[in-house]
Chains A and B, each alone.
Chain A
C-alpha cells in the first residue's frame, strides 16, 4: 500500500521572537513569567510546546540539533541509495527501497519539528545544499560492497537507535513526538541490516569475508557517531540540563557496545577491537581507544565523500527547480480561478437579492 508522507508542522507559531533574542538579564515582565514557566516545565520533566515561551539559546540549540538530524536523514539516503539498483535479490531490493524512503520521511518529520521553532524548511535545505549545515559524519563514508548495507543497518541505524530512544523523552514536544515515530522504523532498519549480515555470514566464504571486511570499516566510525568523549563535549551539559539530552556521549557509546557484543556473537562476526573485554566489576564491555583524529578530519570536510554527498543533493534540488516552480504556478492559478469563481457566485447572489 502507498503511504505518501505528508508531514505537517504541528504548529507554526513563532513564539515571542523578541523575547527569544533578548539576553536573560534584561527581561520584561512577560519574559520573567515565561522563563519561570519554562523552568517549571523542565523541572517537572514536562514537554515544552511551540507556543510556550522559551530561552533564545534553548530554541537555537534545538533548531541546530533538529535540522542537523534532519539533514543526516536526507544525506543518509545516499550511501544506501547507491545499492538499490544492484540489490542482489528482489526481496532485498524491496526492503532497501522501503528503508531509504523511510529516511526521507524521517527528514520530513524533523524539518517539520524544526519549523515549529520558526526556521522554515527552505532555509534549512539551502543550508544543507550549500554545505553550510552539518550532518552526521558517518554518511561521508563510502559503500563499496553490498555488505555495507548490512553494516549500515546494524551499526549505523543501531547507533541511531541508542541515540534516539532517549530523545523520545526530549523536553521539546514536537521533537520528542517526531522521534517516537522515527524510532519505530529505526528498529526495523537495524533488524534488516542484521539479517543482511547474518545471511552473508551463513553464505559462501566470499560472502562471509565481505561481511567481516565491511564491519571492520564501519565499527569505529559507528562508535564515533555518539560524538566526542564527554570531557571534550562542552555543549552536552547544557543540553542535559534542558532535558534535550538524557545521557552523555560516553554513556550512550557504552550502551551501544554492550548491545553489539552479544549480537556480533550470534553473527559470528569479530568486532575489530583487540582491547574489547568484559569487565566483571561493572558488567560492561570495555573497548579500546578510538582514533578521534579521523573523526575531526572527516568533520572538517576530509572524509571519503563530503563534497560528493552535498553536490548530489544540490544537483537533485537544482534539476528539480522547474518542477517546483511549475507546481507553485499551477497552485497559484488554481487559487486565482477559485477566487474568481467565488466572486462570480457572490455577485450572482447579490443580483438575486437585489432582484
Chain B
C-alpha cells in the first residue's frame, strides 16, 4: 500500500464490545483463534515490557508517553485475546495467565528485556513499523472482528511510530553517547527482525496450528480448517517486509547511524520457542493470578 489508508472500513472494536458480541454468539473458528492468539501474544508481551518503564523513565513526559503506548498496545492485546478465546470458550485472562511458556505464540522481538532507553526505542521503532503495515492490511480482513480491532489499533500505532521516529533522530543526532547507545540498541534488536516478518505457521499449515490451548472439543473444527481457511482473513507478514526495508534503513541513516549487519535468530516464537528472558517475565506476570486459580478480580 503506497498511500496510507487511515479510513476504517468497519466500526471500531474494544475488548468490552467483543465480549458483548461473544455473549451474543460470536465465536472465532479454531484457525482464526490461533491467528488472533499470535497477534494478541505479541501485543501482550510488548505491553508488559513497556509497563516496566512506568516510574523509571528518563523524564516524567516519557513515563507518560511510554505508559500511554503500553496502554494502547495492552488494549490491542486484550481485543485479540478476547476474540481468540471465543474459539475455545476461554477468556483473555485464561489465555494470559494460565498458559505456560511453550504455549505462548509471541514472536521473540517482543520478549526482549527493555534494556536502556535506546534499546526500548529501537524495539519500539521496529515494532511500530511492523504494526503499522500489519494493521493497515488487516483492516481489510474478511473477518470483521479482526478488521475492527485493526482499525482502532492503526490510529494509535500512527502516534507510536511518530514517537519512536522522533527519539531515533534525537538519540542518533544528539550526543556521542546517545548515538553509541542508539546504535547498540538497533544492533541488539536487529537479529529479531527476520523472525518478525516470517510466515504465520497457522496460515502455512493447519497441522502447526494445533496448539495445546485448543481444547479437545475444538479438534473437530481444526480438521475442517484446511490451509486455505485463513485466506483473505490473515495477513502474511512476508508481504510487509518490503515496506520495512523501504522505511527503516532510511530512517537509521537519517539519524546518522548504520543499518546493522547482524545475523538473525532462529526464532520460532509462533511455534512456542522463546528466548531466555521470556520465562522470568511470564512468571512475574502470572504469579498472583496463579496463586488464586478461579478467582475473579
Tell whether A94 is near chain B: CB-to-CB under 8 Å: yes
Whether, in the assembled complex, A326 has its beta carbon less than 8 Å from a beta carbon of chain B, the answer is yes
* A176 smallest CB distance to B (angstroms): 22
Q: Is B245 part of the contact surface with A, judged by Cβ < 8 Å?
A: no
Interface: A81 (CB within 8 A): yes
Q: Please tell me if B191 contacts chain A, counting CB pairs below 8 Å.
A: no
B61:A324 contact, CB within 8 angstroms: no
Q: Is the CB of A60 closer than 8 A to any CB of chain B? A: no
CB-based contact A85/B75 at 8 Å: no
B59 touches A326 (CB 8 A): no
Q: Is A19's beta carbon under 8 Å from chain B? A: no
Neighbouring A residues of B248 by C-beta, 8 Å: none
Interface string of A67-96 (1 = CB under 8 A from B): 000000010011001001111111111100
Decide: B289 and A88 in contact? CB cutoff 8 A: yes
Quick check: is A154 within 8 A (CB to CB) of the other chain? no
Dominant secondary structure at the B interface: helix
User: Which of chain B's residues 269-297 have a Cβ closer than 8 Å to chain A?
Assistant: 284-285, 287-289, 292, 294-297
Q: Which residues of B sit under 8 angstroms from A206, Cβ to Cβ? A: 292, 295
User: B3-11, B103-111, B169-177, B259-267: which lies at the A interface?
Assistant: B169-177
A188 at interface (Cβ–Cβ under 8 A)? no
Contact pick for A316, options B58, B288, B294, CB 8 Å: B58
Assess the A94–B60 pair: CB atoms within 8 A: no
Nearest CB in chain A: distance from B23 CB, A: 16
Residues B60 and A108 in contact, CB atoms below 8 Å apart: yes
Measured between alpha carbons, how far is A250 from B220 in the docked complex, in Å? Answer: 68
Question: Is B42's CB within 8 Å of the partner chain A?
Answer: no
Pick the contact of A89: B61, B117, B289 (CB < 8 A).
B289
List B159-175 residues whose CB lies under 8 Å from chain A. Answer: 159-160, 169-171, 173-175
Q: Among A81, A90, A108, A196, point to the contact of B81 (Cβ < 8 A).
A: A90
B61–A74 touching, CB < 8 Å: no
> Which residues does chain A contribute within 8 Å of B96, judged by CB atoms?
90
Contact yes or no, B297 A319, CB < 8 A: no
Q: Contact: A324 with B72, CB < 8 Å? A: no
Does chain B have a CB within 8 A of A255? no
Using C-beta atoms within 8 Å of the partner chain, give the interface range for chain A. 35 or more
Asked whether any CB of chain B lies closer than 8 Å to the CB of A178, the reply is no
Looking at A49-57, A98-106, A218-226, A340-348, the stretch in contact with chain B turns out to be A98-106
**B230 CB to closest chain A CB, in angstroms?**
25
B48 within 8 A of A: yes
Cβ–Cβ contact A330 & B289, under 8 A: no
Contact A93 B175 (CB under 8 A): no
The reply on A97 being an interface residue by CB < 8 A is yes
Q: How far is the CA of A88 from the CA of B92 in the complex (A)?
A: 12
Determine whether B64 belongs to the interface, using a CB cutoff of 8 Å to chain A.
Answer: yes
Q: Pick the contact of A100 from B52, B67, B97, B117 — CB < 8 Å? A: B67
B68 at interface, CB cutoff 8 A = yes
Is B233 located at the chain interface by the 8 A CB criterion? no
With known contacts A4-B68, A85-B48, A97–B61 Cβ distance under 8 A: no
Q: Which residues does chain B contribute within 8 Å of A196, judged by CB atoms? A: 297
Please state if B92 and A90 are interface contacts (CB–CB under 8 Å): yes
Other-chain contact of A333, B64, B67, B173 (Cβ < 8 Å)? B173
Is A301 close to B, CB under 8 A? no
Interface residues of B (CB under 8 A from A): 15, 44, 48, 51-52, 54-65, 67-72, 74-75, 77-78, 81, 92-93, 96-97, 116-117, 155-156, 159-160, 169-171, 173-175, 177-178, 181, 284-285, 287-289, 292, 294-297
Known pairs A4-B65, A4-B68, A317-B58. 10 more at Cβ < 8 A?
A: A2-B160, A89-B297, A90-B74, A94-B75, A100-B67, A104-B63, A107-B60, A199-B297, A203-B295, A323-B62
